[in-house]
Structure 1
Amino acid sequence: MAETILVTGATGTVGSELVRALINRGVNTRAAVHSIIKGDRLRHFNPEVQLVEVDYHRPASLPLAFTGVDRVFLLTPFSDQQLIINQQLVDAAKAAGVQQVVRLSAAGADMEPGIQLGRWHRQMEQYLEQSGLSHVILRPTSFMQNFVNYQGQSIREQGAIYLPLGEGRMSYIDAFDIAEVAAAILTDDVAKHHGQAYTLTGPQAVNHTEIAGIIGQATGRPVQYVDVPETAARQAMQGAPQWMVDSMMELNALGKAGHLAGTTPAVEQLTGRPPRSFQEFAQEHRHELMPA
């Protein structure tokens, strides 16, 4: 009997790419979504994808989502409730007899003392590790897609990237590669990866002046990088919860200091091909970064 894989966070940056990757492999894929209407766009990958509505504020919605599931991709939302949500998802997986959980964490989660985001991720990793479930941890660096999702408007309208990152280099990764790694593990022998933690990076570390140049070349128009002072960056995030502002500024400080520049061979080892470069990403997404 064919396995069924549940993807949580299925409409997000990584989740939607993973649904695509699993469908392309002919896997029975169940997508956990907040709204069936919102999740319906996933059906363009394959009309047979199963959609199941999950409300993290209603734990009673979880047992149905996990019923008949063999493996799970576990992605928790960026929320002040993420520790509780992670616990509920792990407990539901255990109760359903799931064979394997692949959890999306973050690079640096194992750093000591680390930053708050990393400490939260590590706590969530540890809860999974202590559950007794066969598990794999994926720790990707920041996503290349951030330049479409969060910087896209300023790139399109002003030809500018505004970030408080100085000339710090970062090894951004394409969400496509994260999904390909997750799909490879979720369709491989469970025992082969049990207990492993993989740090996933792009092929090279680039600074944001270089990124602006790469995007400019791909879109055929000048793009500049503007290094934003910390005070101005905090002001720009006014209205966001304080925990979120503080967490993002801690992460930015790590990037500015060059602590997020390391690369690993994990993507190529797990997928059999090198990770996508920022040049490849920019070419593929250039139309999303051009003026309307």
Structure 2
Amino acid sequence: MNLLVVGATGTLGRQVVRRALDEGHQVRCLVRSPRKAAFLKEWGAELVQGDLTAPETLKPALEGVTAVIDAATSRATDSLTIKQVDWDGKVSLIQAAATAGVERFIFFSILDAQNFPNVPLMEIKRCTELFLAESGLNYTILRPCGFMQGLIGQYAIPILDKQAVWITGESSPIAYMDTQDVAKFAVRALEVPETVNKSFPVVGTRAWGAYEIIRLCERLSGKEAKIARLPLNLLRAVRQILRFFQWGWNVSDRLAFTEVLANGKPLDAPMDEVYEVLGLNPKETTTLEAYLQDYFSRIMKKLKEIEFEKDKAKKKKKTPFKTQ
């Protein structure tokens, strides 16, 4: 297929590009900065400069495209708001894809988005699902709930650096999935007719709570975590304050997601039917234990190499006195 990947430089998007190229698809990437996306070109993808918030750039990007995988989302640090990217931008993309006669459209939503109407990103995802379903496109909606890659900065690095790991009490267990596996599901969905006009959860082998992840990281790193608890009421107050300032809107909307994590209900779903429909083997899905084991094995090896080089450099600096 001639495939357009949107959000191709992101944590998930780049894995979609890699997987699609490996599967033999012709891949084009819509990117805001070709310079920052140069690595995608090196992999073999075509780069087209454009932006979801600039609808006039979408038509050229969609020329000759038979399928779209949309992995884009706003970031808390972006100058653009969630509404501008995840709603206005997605509406423009869906409309442009329909006009261009795109045959397949894969959209990444979030698991249980319909249960959180007061959380901006969740409500926008729900509305986008409805808009896509009514667009006339042959769509597939995939609903992940958390990526293992995000756990490195949240848990692993602070523990290794002896910094505080911030948690909000008993947060909801989440069935994290490796983005490489999520990408595998997305690319596979393009080839399976049974996925057309349907929605599927895409979650990991089991849900993990914050304390479970911390204990796992401690065991794998051999280091003790410094846990700092952040009261949920404090986060709610900060969010309300940020809403008074335009520059704080995006961060405020992201902080609203803590309501999802603090409701106590696991973010998880049965996957048996998904594996069956897509013809994938559940035993090939990366477990959280295996993912963190691989990370800590590599990082601990690297740290040992650095310490070895430091010791060697110190020894070279020590010049023994020569005796007459």
Alignment TM-score, normalising by the size of structure 1: 0.86
Matches within 5 A, 1:163-242: 163-186=167-190, 188-189=191-192, 191-233=193-235, 242=248
Range with bigger deviation, 212-221 or 259-268: 259-268
Residue type matched to 2:260 in 1? L
Question: How far is 1:115 from its partner?
Answer: 3.5
Give the Cα separation in 2 of the matches to 1:250 and 1:112.
10
Whole-Å Cα distance in 2 between the matches of residues 144 and 224 of structure 1?
Answer: 21
Partners of 1:87 and 1:126 lie apart in 2 by 11
Query: What are the residue-to-residue correspondences of 1:271-282 with 2, within 5 Å?
Result: 271-274=280-283, 275-282=285-292
Corresponding residue number in structure 2 for 1:59: 55
Match of 2:67 among 71, 91, 96: 71
Secondary structure of 1:161's partner?
A: strand
Question: Are residues 67 and 152 of structure 1, via their aligned partners in 2, closer, same or farther at CA, if it must alter by over 3 Å?
Answer: farther
| Alignment partners' CA distance in 1, 2:169 and 2:39 | 35
Choose from 121, 124, 127 the match for 1:120: 124
> What SS class does the counterpart of residue 83 from structure 2 fall into?
coil
Taking the TM superposition and a 5 Å limit, the aligned residue runs for 1:32-181 are 32-44=30-42, 46=43, 48-78=44-74, 79-81=82-84, 82-111=86-115, 113=117, 115-150=119-154, 153-181=157-185
- Radius of gyration: which is bigger? 2
Which of 250, 258, 261 is the matching residue for 2:264?
Answer: 258
1:112 deviates by 6.6
Query: Taking structure 1 as reference, are residues 256 and 138 closer, same or farther at Cα in structure 2, changes over 3 Å only?
Result: same
2:21 counterpart of 1:15: no
Structure 1 residue 142, shift from structure 2 partner: 1.6
Deviations 1:78-124 (A, max 9, x none): 22312110111001111211000000110112337563322110111
Gaps of 5+ in 2: 75-81, 307-324
CA distance in 2, matches of 1:102, 1:254: 24
> 2:30–2:51: 8 Å Cα contact kept in structure 1?
no
Q: For the structure 1 residues 80 and 154, does the alpha-carbon distance in structure 2 shift closer, same or farther, using more than 3 Å as the test?
A: farther
User: Secondary structure of 1:38's partner?
Assistant: coil
The alignment partner of 2:12 has SS state of helix
Secondary structure (helix, strand or coil) at the match of 2:151 reads helix
Distance 2:151 2:4 in 1: 28
Deviates more, 1:155-164 or 1:76-85: 155-164
* 1:25-64 Cα deviation digits (max 9, x unpaired): 12111122111111111245x3x21111112332211111
Q: Output the amino acid matched with 2:288.
A: F
CA separation of 1:235 and 1:109: change in aligned 2, threshold 3 A: closer
One-letter amino acid of the structure 1 residue matched with residue 61 of structure 2: A
Q: Residue 165 of structure 1: CA displacement?
A: 4.5
Q: For the Cα contact (< 8 Å) 2:17–2:27, is it kept in 1?
A: yes
Task: Report how far residue 149 of structure 1 moved.
Answer: 4.5
RMSD: 2.7
Do the aligned partners of 1:161 and 1:223 also contact (CA within 8 Å) in 2? Answer: yes
Kindly state the Cα deviation for residue 199 of structure 1 after the two structures are TM-superposed: 1.1
Query: TM-score of the superposition, structure 2-length normalised?
Result: 0.78
How far apart are 1:182 and its partner, in Å?
Answer: 0.2
Most deviating of 113-122 and 134-143: 113-122
| Structure 1 SS opposite 2:115 | coil
Sort the Cα spacing of 1:167 and 1:146 in 2 relative to 1 into closer, same or farther, 3 A.
same
- What are the Cα deviations for residues 236-288 of structure 1, in whole angstroms up to 9, with x where unaligned? 88689554445444432332332234332156433323432211121233346
Percent of residue pairs identical: 24
Shift of the 80–43 alpha-carbon distance from structure 1 to 2, 3 Å rule, reads: same
Tell me whether 200-209 or 164-173 shows the greater mean CA deviation. Answer: 164-173
1:252/1:25 CA distance change after superposition, 3 Å? same
Q: Unpaired segments of 5 or more residues in structure 1?
A: none
